[in-house]
Structure formats: structure tokens, C-alpha cells
Amino acid sequence: MKNPGSLIILFLIIISTSCTQNLSVKSPDKQNIITLDLNENGTLYYSITSHGTDALLKSMMGMELADSLFDFNSKLSFVGSSRSVIDETYSLPTGKTSLYINNANEAVFIFENRHERILKVVCRAYDDGVAFRYIVENPAGITVRKELTRFGLPENTMSWMMNYVPQYENIYQERVLDTIGSKPLSFPSLMHINEKLWLLLTEASVYNQPACHLNKPGTGTELEIELPEESYTVESVWESPWRTFILGTELGTITESVIVENLNPPSAVTDLSWIRPGVAVFPWWGNWMANSYIDTLKMYVDLAAEMNWEWIEFDVSLVGSPFRTSKLWETTKWLPEFTTYAKSRNIRVYGWDEINILKTKEGRDHIYGRYTDLGIEGIKIDYLDSDKQYAMQFRNAAMKHAAENKLMVSFHGETLPRGQRRTYPNVMTLEAVMGAEYYTFKADHSPSPEHNCTLPFTRNVVGPMDYTPVTFTIRPEVPRTTTYTHELALSVIVESGWLVMADRPEAYLNSPAKDFLKKLESTWDETRFIAGYPGDYVVLARRKGDKWFIAGINSGEKRELDINLGFIKDGKYEIEIFMDKASEEMTDLQIRKETVTKDNTLHIALSANGGFCTLIEQ
């Protein structure tokens, strides 16, 4: 919802074709610049510089539509432009910050093809990145065949990219871009350019059209946009997804950015008072049939109440089934007793179902209506596993209808977030990650410390992540390579509106970190990147009110860190620092007590594949 104090200042400067063409947009601090250029054949190109470094080399733009009158691949001419300044603030109930600042310079560049059809290219430049999108209008409708956008990176660019899979459950591999052969790749893609500049490439604002991914056509350093289907049709106006480039000389610019949310439309929900993020318990992880037994579910409700957490994920339609929807819940008589019990303990309930049940409005009306009758306040929607247009349109309808029914939403078996939580703040989290669920059935493909240390720089930058963290229990059939305190620290490292704690009750109730776990938060007023490098380690500080949570995780050999506490308030604070034991046992921790002020530096010894965390209550 737009903050009442927000301000959007608009001013138009119409540039005729007889004037000198200025096809550049600079960020407010003038460090990020996107420039468009027409070559002698009328083909459109763009380039991006950041802090004096070439971030994107001259790269092709344009698209091809089914109606050849609307091809914008060559013989374009510049018509004119308009410029504006975007300066607004807004709040969301979830995220890495509670106050979102949207400040950018924007230009709309207008081009005409040889058939006198118009292409608009909207460019924005922020202090932490740039973005552009295409706009084409045709009252008869638009069928998009191909987007011609290319991304030309400098040679020897280091990249962290996932080989594309539709559910985005894979690892972000560290590779020199030049060495990657021909293959589909996933957003977001993290790049380190000339060891000077960090770039995160992604897309934003996708509702009524397919979500895209990347393709690498062969050797070299150029990437291209690839659709998940041959073509798609929209009505009279086509607004492409925003091609989004988060840019900075420091990794903190990447991890702290909210550009993806800023590029989405304002909230479609006017009353946000019913939206309640929180920490949740997750019975399924410890027992695939847990949702079939009221006594087991009540045990998890008692866990949540004891730990001061707010939610239980009750996978309603898994009554009688471990994985796929069963209809038994429709006739199970104890459901009202269970939801009443949860309510009596001040624990909210959200449910679970599949896209196949919810893909029609009639199906959603039935499920959402039953949930309302039962006092269930949210839903996790699973098995989407697609970027195609029908799947994106389904998500849009599901979010909208859920908001109309005052239901919060999680998506599972899911595509990457593209900033939808700004428009639909009832979206709590999305999966699109290889998380702790893999400990339950993927012995050869479970999350590694390196994977965990890459996610804060890639997947979790662009939106909430339903990793289901803090799994202390080691399953013999799926060995875990992270330490106890690494797992504990994930409760702070992972950002998710529903922070879903996966382990069994005894793992938390008997934890030496129980008091820390009882104070967990799932939303943040402020996030600070402290230190780290993708795949190696990461330290974050997150503030909620007067509480600062500081946590770090490590991959590989042990390392030592010094953390400056200059960001906390004046005063003396007694703190507990949770660390791995010197013996580096994977199943236990030590607690170090200290008195600190803002003038102190915390010295932390991270064990191999370990972690640490602390809480400063100001």
C-alpha cells in the first residue's frame, strides 16, 4: 500500500526528432547509467555503466510479434521521449525492511518501425541499479513470438547461476561465464565483473504473461532471453517484464536491494490489518503422515505456543496421504476440533493444496470457503512447477482471490519471486529453492554449506524464500554437512514472511538455544550486510524494533571474523553468542557471554561449515 506521505514527481520533456538525441538515464547519484543506441540499420541496442565500469556491453534489444507489422528488430527511428522522477516510500508487512524507498530517474523512449508502429522503452536508473521494459499497443491483440534482448557481459566475468529447472530447485554454480556451454540458465544470476562490480540480473513484475529465463547460446559471454513456450497472447497492451540489473561495488548493495519490489505495481489490497506474518511449525518434515493425526498436530501446536511462534502449517489435503492431495479431509470430522484447539492456544493455521484443485475460480471458491469456515487463515499452493503463461495467470488469480477472502498465501513447487508481494502483500513466501525439504528424500542432492552461503546473494535477494530452515535432527539416510549452529543461524539468514521451522518438537524444546529461538522474528525493519562472499560465508544483521539479530554461516575451512557494532544504539548490553564447540562437533554448541557497546568489535571464530548468532536487545 502506498504510504500517504509518498510523492511521485512527474515532468515531461518532449524531444522532437530534430533535436539532439539523449537516450541515456542516470541514477540520482549519477553512478548508474543506461544508454540506448540505434545503429545505421535502425536496430536498437543498450549498454550499462556503473561506477565507471562497463556492466553490460552494447547489447541488442527488441522483439518479434506474430503480426510482422509489429516487429521491432530493425529499421527503427527515434520519435521522442518523456522523463520523470520517481520519489516515493511505502510499507509492506513482510521483507528485509519495513520502509521501502523507491527513488529513480525514468525516461520513456519512443521508436517507430517501418510500418509506423510504436515501441516504447521505459528505462529507470536507481542508485543501486537500472531496469528497462518494453511497451507495445495494438487494439487487435498481441502475440509475442520472441524477445530479442541480449545481455553482453565483459570477458572473464565470474558468475553464480543455476542451470534452469522450472521449479528453481537447483544449485547456483560458481563458473567463469566464458566457460559455460550452450544451455538454459536461471534468474537471478550474480556476476562479478572485472573484480570491481557486482551485478545481479533478474526480472520483475510478471502477472499476465510467461516468466522468462536465460539461455546461453554457446561459448562467449552473451546471454539471451528465453520463453518457456513458443508464443503467447495478451490483450491490447503488452508490457514486458522489467529487465532488472542490481549494481554495486559492494555485495551489500546486492543483498539489501529492494528494486524488485519497487518495479511492481502498488498494493491492490487497501486493508492490511489482517495480514499476519510469523514463525511457523511444519509437521510434515518430521513425519510425512503427521497431518493425518489430530494428536500429532496438537503436539506441534503446543510446540508453537511454547516457543512463542505464531503459525502451524497444517497440510489439510494430506490427511490420509504423504504427498498428493487426498479428498479424505472433506469428510474428516476432527478438523474443526483441531482448528479450535489451535485458536485456543493463539496459534494460527494455514493449509495446503495443489494447483489442480485450485486452478478454477470454482475450485478456489470451494477451498477458500471451507478454509474460512474452519478458521484457517492461509494456504500453501503446491505443484505449480511452471513459468508458462497459464501458471503465471493462475498465480495472479490465486493471490487476488486469496486477498479477497483474507487468506495469506505461500507458493510451493514454484517459480522465482518477481516482486509480487508489493502488489499482493498477502503473499508470505515462495519456495523456488533447494531447501531443507531435500533432507527428507534426496541423499545425493541435499543443501550444502556452500549452497546456503550462496542463497543470500542470489535467490533470497529477490524475494521471500521458503527454505524451511533450522533442521537440527540428522537423518542417517541423508547426511548433513552443516553444524548445529549453522542450522541455528539460518533462522536469521533466511528471509521469509512465514519463517517455517522444519524440525520435530523435541529438537527445539531441548535445544540449548531455546531462549534465542523463542525470540525469532520473520519480518524486519532493517537489514545490513556485514561481511561475506558467495559460496564462502555470509554475515547479516537484521533489526526488528529495538532487537538486532546478527548471524553468520560458513562453508569450508574455519575462519575468524571481526564485527564492528557501530550500528547499535548507545548503551551496555549483555549478550549470548551461540557458536560451535571448539571440538567442532556437528551436534552441539557453546554459549559465550559478553558485555558490548557500539564501540566494541565482536570477534567470532567460525568452525568449518559452521555458524554463529546473537541477539542484542536495546
260 closest CA partner among 239, 277, 246, 249? 246
133 touches 122 (CB < 8 A): yes
Query: In this model, does residue 550 exceed pLDDT 60?
Result: yes
Where in the chain are all domains bearing CATH 3.20.20.70? 278-512
Tens digits of residue pLDDT in 435-483: 999 998 876 778 999 999 999 999 999 999 999 999 999 888 787 899 9
Q: Report the interhelical angle of 335-344 vs 294-306 (nearest 10°).
A: 10
Q: Alpha-carbon Rg of the chain, whole angstroms?
A: 25
Q: What is the band of 586 on the pLDDT scale with cuts at 50, 70, 90? A: low
25/47 Cα distance (integer angstroms): 11
Residues with Cβ < 8 Å from 387, sequence gap 6 or more?
A: 166, 210, 211, 212, 213, 228, 415
Share of the chain above pLDDT 70, in %: 96
* Architecture of the domain whose range is 278-512: Alpha-Beta Barrel (3.20)
Where in the chain are all domains bearing CATH 2.70.98.10? 7-262
User: Residue 17's pLDDT is what?
Assistant: 40
* Architecture of the domain whose range is 7-262: Distorted Sandwich (2.70)
40/414 Cα distance (integer angstroms): 43
70 touches 120 (CB < 8 A): no
Tens digits of residue pLDDT in 160-194: 999 999 999 999 999 999 999 999 999 999 999 99
Tens digits of residue pLDDT in 222-232: 999 999 999 99
If 0-12 CB within 10 Å is exposed, 13-18 middle and 19+ buried, where does residue 595 land? exposed
If 0-12 CB within 10 Å is exposed, 13-18 middle and 19+ buried, where does residue 273 land? exposed
Q: Kindly report the three-state secondary structure assignment for every residue of 62-90.
A: CEEECCHHHCCCCCCEEEEEEEEEEEEEE
37/24 Cα distance (integer angstroms): 9
User: Mean of the pLDDT values across residues 492-509?
Assistant: 98
- The three cell numbers of residue 1 are 500500500
In what order do the strands lie in the sheet containing 63-65? 63-65, 142-147, 232-234
Tens digits of residue pLDDT in 309-347: 999 999 999 999 999 999 999 999 999 999 999 999 999
Tens digits of residue pLDDT in 281-307: 999 999 999 999 999 999 999 999 999
User: Mean of the pLDDT values across residues 534-543?
Assistant: 98
396/206 Cα distance (integer angstroms): 9
Query: In this model, does residue 277 exceed pLDDT 60?
Result: yes
